[in-house]
Each structure stands twice: as C-alpha cells, then as structure tokens.
Chains A and B, each alone.
Chain A
Amino acid sequence: PLKQTKLAAYFTPT
C-alpha cells in the first residue's frame, strides 16, 4: 500500500 508523505518531511519551517 502507498503512504502519503507530508511536506514537513521535505521543507523546514522557518
């Protein structure tokens, strides 16, 4: 099954 990743895994909060 596929898992939806989140943006926080790629972009860092400033």
Chain B
Amino acid sequence: MFEARLLRGSILKKVLEAIKDLLTQATFDCDDSGIQLQAMDNSHVSLVSLQLRADGFDKYRCDRNISMGMNLNSVAKILKCAGDKDTVTMKAQDNADTVTFVFESPNQEKVSDYEMKLMNLDLEHLGIPETEYSCTIRMPSAEFARICRDLSQFGDSMVIACTKEGVKFSATGEIGSANIKLAQTASVDKEEEAVIIEMDEPVTLTFACQYLNYFTKATSLSPQVQLSMSADVPLVVEYRIQDIGHIRYYLAPKIED
C-alpha cells in the first residue's frame, strides 16, 4: 500500500497549479525515497522534474514501488477542493487502478475523500546528464516572474545574457525593444531578496517566453528561483520546496536557423 500524508497540504495544491498548464498527464513514480515525476510538454521543448522526498511528509509509507499515471487537470480539480490549511493524504493499494485523496480540515471536523481512476501512461523517460553550469543565478522568484511577464509583451523570445557584471534579460518585437539588467547584490543581508550570480563563463541564450511564463506558475512555492545556464544546453529553472524537495523546469534554447 502507498500512503503519503502532508500537513502542509497547500504544497500539493501549488505543485499542481505549477504543472497543470504545461503538462496534461504525468506519472507519479513512488518508492521508499519519495515521489518523483518527470514529463515533457506535448511539444517536447520543456520538461518538468518534480521531487518530493519521503522525509518531507508527515507520514509516508510505500510498501512496493508504484507508478501512478494521472490526468493532471483532474488532479488539479480535486486539489482545488482542498482548503489551504487542510492536511492532504494521497493513498493507493498496491497495483491499484485508482488513487484516493483525503483532505482533513485543521479541526478534523471535515474530512473529504476523492477517488480518481489512474491511467496507463508509457511516457518516455529522459536521462538528464549531471551538468556543471557556466552560470547560475539565484534571485527572488517574484522578480523573475515579473521580468518574464513584462518582457513577453515585447516579443515571443527572451535573450538571457549572464556576465560577471550581472544578468540582462532582453526582448524585441513590433513595439520595440526592452532590456532589464540585474546587478549582483553587493551586501547580501536578506538572502531571499538578493541576486547572486556564480559565473565561470559568460553565457547568452535565447528562450521562448511562453514556456518561461508557464514555469513561473511555481513562484508561490519558493521565495527564490535559481536559473542555471551553459552554452547550447537547456536552461534549468529550479524552485526549491522547503523541507521536502524541488520542482525543476528544463527548456531547450532557440538557435539561429
């Protein structure tokens, strides 16, 4: 039997909001280390990699490895029925064809359960090579969401140029051109508000704004976001989920034809 119980149920609500617009369906791979999900969007241009460690749950039991194929729109609808302060439990019998979500209100006076059919998905799994990135940028996640939203009004591509001075986000289109430069924060007194750049080599890459705006749906999961870049490899946009794991988005770059 599989059972995962989380007092901070809002984390699962936010995780589904962060992936349901990019992916239509995905497999939750559960083993005794926790829950992993890896899936590409339909155009195979971006990939979501979610990890929720077993030790981040208030109760976690996984007698046998189980892979649960789910329609993410359905899961999002079910999780919308959970209160922000509810405890959320996901459970399934071994080789079951349904999964049950149980929501308990903080005062235990209201308990809801939703049972959903599982899907047989044989989605291809991609091997993501461990990479030493030339540039990593840690910045406030709300700042990154704002930049993606503002620049996507100017063009459907965004250029991210990272140098030792800082990072520049640019877009051009019919209206004109826009550039946003962020300098490395000098005195890091509040880590969460700092822009911290580690650069081995300068990197400039171009990405489609629409995917970046899908990624920023994860903003509520973490006050910070980390961008990792190297020449001619996919961008990594990572949101750490406190005490339990992370959600990582990979995006293939756009290149001169």
Contact = CB atoms under 8 A, between A and B. Distances in A.
Q: Specify whether A and B are partners.
A: yes
B129 interface: yes
Contacts of A4: 45, 208, 252, 254
Contacts of B124: 13
- SS class of chain A's interface: helix, strand, loop or mixed? mixed
A14 B40 contact: no
Residue in B125, B206, B234, B250 with the greatest tally of chain A CB atoms within 10 Å: B234
Contacts of B195: none
B241 interface: no
Interface string B124-147: 111111000000000000000000
Residue in A5, A6, A9, A11 with the greatest tally of chain B CB atoms within 10 Å: A11
B190 interface: no
Say which size band chain A's interface belongs to: 10 to 19
Interface residues of B, number: 24
A2 B257 CA distance: 5
A14 B254 contact: no
A13 B168 CA distance: 33
Nearest to A4: B254
Contacts of B110: none
B234 A7 contact: yes
A10 B233 contact: yes
B257 A14 contact: no
A6 B257 contact: no
Nearest to A2: B254
Contacts of B127: 11-14
B255 interface: yes
B18 to A, nearest CB: 19
Contacts of A12: 126-127
Given A7-B40, A7-B46, A13 B254 contact: no
Given A2-B206, A13-B125, A14-B125, A7 B257 contact: no
B253 interface: yes
B189 interface: no
Contact of B126 (A2, A5, A11): A11
Interface string B181-214: 0000000000000000000000000101000000
* Nearest 3 pairs of A and B residues by beta carbon: A11-B126, A2-B254, A3-B257
